[in-house]
Structure 1
Amino acid sequence: MKLPTQAQNVNRANRVAEAKASGVNPAFWGQALNLLKKAGQGALSGVLS
C-alpha cells in the first residue's frame, strides 16, 4: 500500500531550502518551529538570544 507523500516531500524540500537559505540546520529549524507552537513568540526570542 502506497501513501500519497508527494505533498509532504515538497513541503519538506521547501522547509529544508528555507533553513539552508537562512543558514540554520534543518533539524534545529524544526525544533524552533516546535517551540513556537508550544510556547509562542517568547520561545523564538529565547532561542535567538
Structure 2
Amino acid sequence: MTPSTRNTSSPTTASCAKAVLTGVFYKNSDEMTYTVDFADYGTSKDIVAP
C-alpha cells in the first residue's frame, strides 16, 4: 500500500492544522499512522546553537 495523507483544519481555529499520514513506511512492517499537529503555526522563535 502506498502511504497517504489527509490534511485537516478546524473551521473555528484557522491557525491550527493537522496532517495524518497512513501507510507502510518501513520495509516488511505493518501499516502505521503518524499524526503531525501544527499548533501555534507562525510563531516566531529565536534558535541559537548550544
TM-score normalized by the length of structure 2: 0.19
Comparing both structures, which one devotes a greater share of its residues to helix?
1
Structure showing greater relative contact order (alpha-carbon pairs closer than 8 Å, 6 or more residues apart): 2
TM-score normalized by the length of structure 1: 0.20
